[in-house]
Amino acid sequence: MLRITGGRVYDPANGVDGVVKDLCIEDGRVVKNVESGRTINASGMMVFPGGVDVHTHVAGGALNFARGLVPENQRVARKFLHGGDRRSGIGGMTPTTFATGYLYAGMGWTTVNEAAVPVLSAKHTHEELHDTPIVDKSCLLLMANNEIVLDLLEAGDLERARHVVAWMISAAKVYGVKAVNPGGVAAWKWGKNASALHESFEGYSSLTPAKIVSGLAQIVDDLQLPHPLHLHCNNLGVPGNVATTIETMQLLEGRRAHLAHLQFHAYGGDSWTTMRSGAAAVAEAFNAHPNLTTDAGAVLFGDAVTITADGPWQHLLYQLTGRKWGNLDVENETGCGIVPYVYKDHNIVNAVQWAVGLELLLLIDDPWRVFLTTDHPNGGCFWRYPEIVQLLMDVDFRKEQIKKLPAAARERIVLADLDRQYSLYEIAIITSAGPARSLGLSRKGHLGAGADADVAIYPEQPDEGGFLFSYPRYVIKAGAVVVEEGDVTAVTEGREFIVQPGYDSGIADFIRPLFEQAYTMSFENYPVEIERLKRPEQITLRPAE
Ligand SMILES: [Zn+2]
């Protein structure tokens, strides 16, 4: 039992805005009252629900490939030496599994959603996820370039496609469906891309990215998954992609969707020399589509590692930068590309990207629909989130940073005209309450009775030379105090959230021969065994509307 007393509580899901009140915890949940147990005096501190990361990359084959591609990280990154319950690990841009858990928890974030898993490597992803301590986890299945699904969508057989997707979700033991550059990754097998929403792409005669997007969004809704289709739109990173992004929003009218890392999809201009912010147009369209949520995918200057299933984009980035490049093709399912990258404040394109992420966060009206991410480690590392919070909360600080940008970049952005400042209440929404709601995790992102007791307690003033929210004084995960004075003091194991949508039991008979024909792995070895997930928790599907 635990009582947190005297702290200023920010709990937007329950309308609590900086009210000094006690918070009581028993058996891992928030309760109305406790009679005894430890008391934490949080006077002069702020009490937040634990952070929820709606889109990050922390586990699986692509991450391991990325870790191998930046061996220099082992010299420069923060080392986590083992001690107490802690195991050793390496921080940096692509932290190893144990360090990932310590870094997230050490910042007050307690739930993470790994955004890209192919079925074929889901076993690896789950092995790494249960090696990632403290935080609760979920992951999303890559479906927009899976050849079995695409063939069914091309044939117009949406019903069978739905059973296949449901079976794949069940086989991979995941939480939701991700679409990355629909059709583009399939076309990349022939060195092509899919950049026009209504044109067919290499390997297909009538299927288009638009049909994949609307088909998968419909399937996710029909399966009543708690989180909507999680979509990485076509033409990521490309100047002028604002047109594709807005067209995609129009396609999704009448269906739910989450648009991932919107910053990378909000560029105007028509070439690298004319590239400019398209954030105003994208935000205006987004504000008019209440069926959508999004995350920022904000960029911070400094080191990053770009990791995405969007293979054709990564090849282009490699050609533009001449940096190291890795490409993987995952049989009939998807691929991925990896390019280590440095965002530079004197580079005009990078300066525009930095501004666009912040502009979207400031121009999208409803904080319940836009969430804080960097698409870790693509736009910057998750452990730098407090820097973005500072930029959102302090307009003077923001304007000082804008002055450092090249003049040519300042002409291409609107950030200097925006005076909005986020309140602490709104920060609690975009870091916790909003993403939890979008994920459909009803016990996350709030501090009402019955909520999971995931709590972060921060000083009301930043530490000397640091940022507010960098070093929580206490972090409580599922009722256990895991961080004290900014240091991980106890290591617990998180859970993995999964869903089990229904499907026609005969669908395996449809899939099996396709396997024997096209896959290198036998069908029997394909599904992830439930025992592989050490602490799975099945989340209920949404009620039918
Ligand atoms: Zn991503």
- Distance of CA 63 from the midpoint of ligand 1 (Å): 11
Core vs surface per residue 205-238: b (16+ CB within 10 A) or e: eebbbbbbbbbbbbbbbbbbbbbbbbbbbbbbbb
SS (H, E, C) 22-70: CEEEECCEEECCCCCCEEEECCCEEEEECEEEEEECCCCHHHHHHHHHC
Confidence (pLDDT) at 72: 87
Joined tokens for residue 324? 């190291």
Q: How many CB atoms lie within 10 A of CB 72?
A: 11
Q: Is 200 in a helix, a strand, or coil?
A: coil
| CA gap 25, 84 in Å, rounded | 25
Query: What's the gap in Å between 131 CA and the centre of ligand 1?
Result: 21
Closest C-alpha to 311, from 297, 325, 332, 294 = 325
Say what the pLDDT of residue 485 is: 85
What's the gap in Å between 260 CA and the centre of ligand 1? 7
**377 CA → ligand 1 middle, Å:** 8
Radius of gyration, alpha carbons of the chain: 22
In a domain, 530, yes or no: no
Give the range of the structural domain holding residue 324, as residue numbers without chain letter. Answer: 47-442+450-496
From the list 133, 221, 165, the residue with the least C-alpha distance to 496 is 133
Measured distance CA(212)–CA(248) in Å, rounded: 11
pLDDT in tens, 44-86: 999 999 999 999 999 999 999 999 999 888 888 888 877 778 8
CA distances from 505 to 163, 170, 500, 502, 531 (A): 9, 12, 13, 9, 21
CA of 54 to the centre of ligand 1 (A): 10
261 C-alpha to center of ligand 1: Å?
Answer: 7
Distance CA 44, CA 194 (A): 54
d(CA 297, ligand 1 centre) in Å: 8
Cα-to-centroid distance, 286 and ligand 1 (Å): 19
Q: Determine contact, residues 497/535, Cβ cutoff 8 Å.
A: no
Q: Is residue 13 part of a domain?
A: no
- Decide if 359 is inside a domain: yes
Q: How far is the CA of 162 from the centre of ligand 1 (A)?
A: 24
Closest among 166, 276, 186, 300 to 234, alpha carbons compared: 186
CATH code for the domain of 376 = 3.20.20
Measure 180 CA to ligand 1 centroid, in angstroms. Answer: 9
Q: Write down the residue that tokens 């599904």 correspond to.
A: 527
- Give the chain's domain count: 1
Task: Please name which of 61, 117, 93 lies closest in space to residue 306, comparing C-alpha atoms.
Answer: 93
Cα torsion at 450, 452, 457, 458 (round to 10°)? -120
Residue 9 CA to ligand 1 centre (angstroms): 31
CA-nearest of 172, 271, 183, 269 to 231 is 183
Q: Does any domain span residue 410? A: yes
Cα-to-centroid distance, 231 and ligand 1 (Å)? 10
Ligand 1 center–CA 40 separation, angstroms: 37
Mean pLDDT by 10-residue block, N- to C-terminus, for the chain (545 residues)?
98 98 98 97 98 98 92 83 83 94 97 97 96 97 98 98 98 98 96 97 97 98 98 98 98 97 98 97 98 98 95 94 93 94 96 98 98 98 97 98 98 98 98 98 98 98 91 97 91 97 96 93 95 94 83
Ligand 1 centroid vs 340 CA: distance in angstroms? 14
Specify if 336 maps to a domain.
Answer: yes
CB–CB of 392/362 below 8 Å?
yes
**What is the whole-number distance in angstroms between the Cα of residue 229 and the centre of ligand 1?**
14
Distance (Å, whole) CA 133 – CA 524: 30
The alpha carbon of 337 and the centre of ligand 1 are apart by a number of angstroms equal to: 12
Within the chain, how many helices (H) and strands (E) appear? 18, 28
Q: Looking at this protein, which amino acid is placed at residue 46?
A: M
Within-domain flag for 194:
yes
Beta bridge partners of 475: 456, 483
What is the token pair recorded at 42? 């949080």
Q: Is residue 27 part of a domain?
A: no
Tokens describing residue 150 = 């695409």
- Global pTM reads 0.97
Beta carbons within 8 Å of 349's beta carbon, 6+ residues apart: 272, 275
CA distance 360 to 296: 7
* Domain assignment present for 137: yes
The token duo for 112 is: 């993470």
Q: How many angstroms does the Cα of residue 39 sit away from the middle of ligand 1? A: 40
Neighbouring CB atoms inside 10 A of 346's CB total 11
Residue 99 CA to residue 81 CA, distance in Å, equals 10
Strands in 450-521 per DSSP E:
455-459, 474-477, 480-484, 487-488, 496-498
